[in-house]
Structure 1
């Protein structure tokens, strides 16, 4: 692999920096295609002098995409957004840019293109995020016939926007909403008996199979190292499937908090999410709530970690390493049973 030149799009991101670190240890020559050269400089110390090179790119200029790929052997597209803005829509990022990268990869004669998509990607999904992820796969496949697709479940790790957001919420909120419950039993609200039905699934909420970011990065690097792999779709999930309620219980345990878990109807949550969307960096959006209406677990019908001789890390083994920071000061030196 030391003779290979590998171009990474999204190399400064959550998964990307882990991929860079692993490729650098293997001696790969790495190009980081980025709109902000200075923002990518923090990656350079991961390798030897000159091994990791940020290269400027402007996605409005297809020639710059081609320059980032010209002379490379392999490429990985890790670019994605979890919420839309007027400038960066799901369609533009997940479909348009993905198509342009794939076209340029074909034109540049690359051997391998790995495209990071999402578990549950489907053209029939109610979620715009998942629909555009699926449309992006179609666009990439049309442009680069032997593309390899990676579909991870919810990714967790020190800088994640999943467990960290829940832990921050537990810091300040007396309740934690459980999304995806079958129904909410009659409860008293200011003395009034109130039945509320949500008509959703599962008493513990939606099922999720969180996967550790380091495992996803390791898998990508292993795929890059196997020239025999092409034209495949991989699904990556952790070793355990959790109901949403269990996820919240894990967060509360590791952050040393005691909070009331309350089944919450999606229609009410969407009103709150709509308000959050008025802010630049919303903690949750209406489309993300739509995602939570469907289970996010591997199908078992596509290749995964076992096909790469890997065993993914358990959530319980990793969470304590970074959720401890959310504990009250008196509880930071011990873990509750």
Structure 2
């Protein structure tokens, strides 16, 4: 399957920037839409990348971006919204996906790779509900689709270990809602590798891949691991659900929403996966301990990380 130009929607985000760089390394030409092209200097310097100022919610801009492309990758998603009614999730996940599908059909783009989430379509949260609705649209699109359902994604600049590291440096005690919620964190490099392999392999068309890491940890264990990496002694205070929901409701009104009622509802379902998508794609899972200590600036762990890298390349 020969592909040349790929349009990556959400290419300026945490996963997107790494995916764009990997696509370029593999010889693809990449178009990345952005609300402000001049702010994407790290992408602008990559050979083979065209960053285009565009409104991806405008049908005309979508058609223009897709003309002449061989595939579209949809990474657009949000973890929180303004308000609590689900309109932001509906717009980002469902409405945009529907518009993208229509633009792909109109432009003759047959191949679509869709980012989703473990538990999409399950549970009470707007986030999971709309992820599931977007998947339904993709499955019924008539396009040559592949869907990815990752667990929580980690790597430098993530919203998991890095976020908790910031909190732990400030607070001697951390009250934690849904402390027992379980995850199988997956390395961002493994996620991007999954997308690239899917582009290169027609056998992935019409397939859904659950993408998760080798280790299953509770939220409390993730926080304690982060504290150990930082050399900090911190008390983790698991909250009963009544207090956890109250905490989330209060944070609904905090600027930037570090936590929300919708996050709380999402955490009621464990994000651990069942059918191993990375194994199906032939991708070796990157252990947390190979990345996170260095990510958090813990120099003592660097030799171990180097040994693991050398062993993997051998």
Per the TM superposition, whether the score is higher than 0.5 is: yes
- Once the two structures are TM-superposed, the CA of residue 27 in structure 1 deviates from its matched residue by 1.6
Residues of 2 paired with 1:144 and 1:76: CA distance?
16
Relative to 1, partners in 2 of residues 1:221 and 1:60: Cα closer, same or farther, differing over 3 Å?
A: closer
> Please, which runs of 5 or more residues in structure 1 have no aligned partner?
182-204, 325-331
- Once the two structures are TM-superposed, the CA of residue 70 in structure 1 deviates from its matched residue by 1.0
Who is 1:19 aligned against?
19
Residues of 2 paired with 1:137 and 1:259: CA distance?
40
Who is 1:43 aligned against?
43
Who is 1:307 aligned against?
280
Q: Check the 8 A contact 1:56/1:64 in 2, yes or no.
A: no
Residues of 2 paired with 1:263 and 1:279: CA distance?
21
TM-score (norm 2): 0.89
Q: Check the 8 A contact 2:123/2:265 in 1, yes or no.
A: no
SS of residue matched to 1:149: strand
More helix by share: 2
Who is 1:76 aligned against?
73
Who is 1:231 aligned against?
206
Moved more, 113-122 or 161-170: 161-170
Residues of 2 paired with 1:282 and 1:319: CA distance?
24
Size of the alignment, in residue pairs? 299
Residues of 2 paired with 1:256 and 1:2: CA distance?
49
TM-score (norm 1): 0.83
Residues of 2 paired with 1:292 and 1:233: CA distance?
22
Who is 2:232 aligned against?
257
Map 1:95-244 onto structure 2 (within 5 A): 95-122=94-121, 124-180=122-178, 205-244=180-219
- Once the two structures are TM-superposed, the CA of residue 42 in structure 1 deviates from its matched residue by 2.1
The structure number with the bigger radius of gyration is: 1
Residues of 1 paired with 2:253 and 2:3: CA distance?
48
Matched, 1:293 2:291: no
- Once the two structures are TM-superposed, the CA of residue 22 in structure 1 deviates from its matched residue by 0.7
